[in-house]
Amino acid sequence: MQSTYPAIFFHEKNGHYSVVFPDLNHLSTCGDTIEEATEMAVDCLAGYLHSEKLDGNIIPPPTPIDKVDIRAEDDEDDDYEESDRFISMISVNVEEYARLHFDKAVRKSLTIPKWLNDMAISRKINFSKLLQKALIKEMKIKVNV
């Protein structure tokens, strides 16, 4: 499912960009270019929403773009001109992004007796699948399949 949130982009004096999501506890990221800042914003949004969902936290709804206060992130020390910032909606399919970037498989090695290895191979047992199922069962993790 696609998630879309408004982000305020700030063009820094050094030429870089900062990005803040006012709806999400002032979640922020940055990039050297507008393209990199946008990519980082997608990654940041996906990571935040994914971890909040895993933790069972309530995720606030996005503010409509026409209701976002472009000065919401102003600080006394900030020296931004209004022309140095803009609001953009950032969209990401969190589940798909997490599957591709956060939920990658990792390689593990294990040591078992040779006779057990030989027997498992002869029965065409998938070690990775078996270990994953056993770990999920052992840790009592609920998985949507």
Full residue range of the structural domain in which residue 111 is found:
105-145
Whether residues 67 and 29 share a domain: the answer is yes
Residue 22 token pair: 């006012």
Give yes or no for residue 76 having a pLDDT over 70.
no
Residue spans of alpha helices (H) in the chain: 34-54, 94-97, 114-122, 127-138
Supply the mean pLDDT for the chain. Answer: 89
| β-bridge pairing 27-31 and 17-21 | antiparallel
pLDDT one-digit tens code per residue, 80-92: 566 789 999 999 9
Distances (CA, A) of 3 to 85, 90, 122: 23, 8, 46
Question: What's the confidence (pLDDT) of residue 42?
Answer: 98
Full-model pTM? 0.69
What is the rounded average pLDDT of the residues 51-70? 94
Question: What's the confidence (pLDDT) of residue 63?
Answer: 96
Q: How many domains does the chain have?
A: 2
Whether residues 110 and 98 share a domain: the answer is no
DSSP tag of 57: P
pLDDT one-digit tens code per residue, 88-131: 999 999 999 998 888 777 888 889 999 999 999 999 999 999 99
Domain ends where: 68, 85, 102? 102
pLDDT bracket for residue 145 (50, 70, 90): very low
3 state SS of 140? coil
Between CA 21 and CA 95 the distance in angstroms is 19
CATH number of the domain at 39, please: 3.30.160.250
Whether residues 90 and 110 share a domain: the answer is no
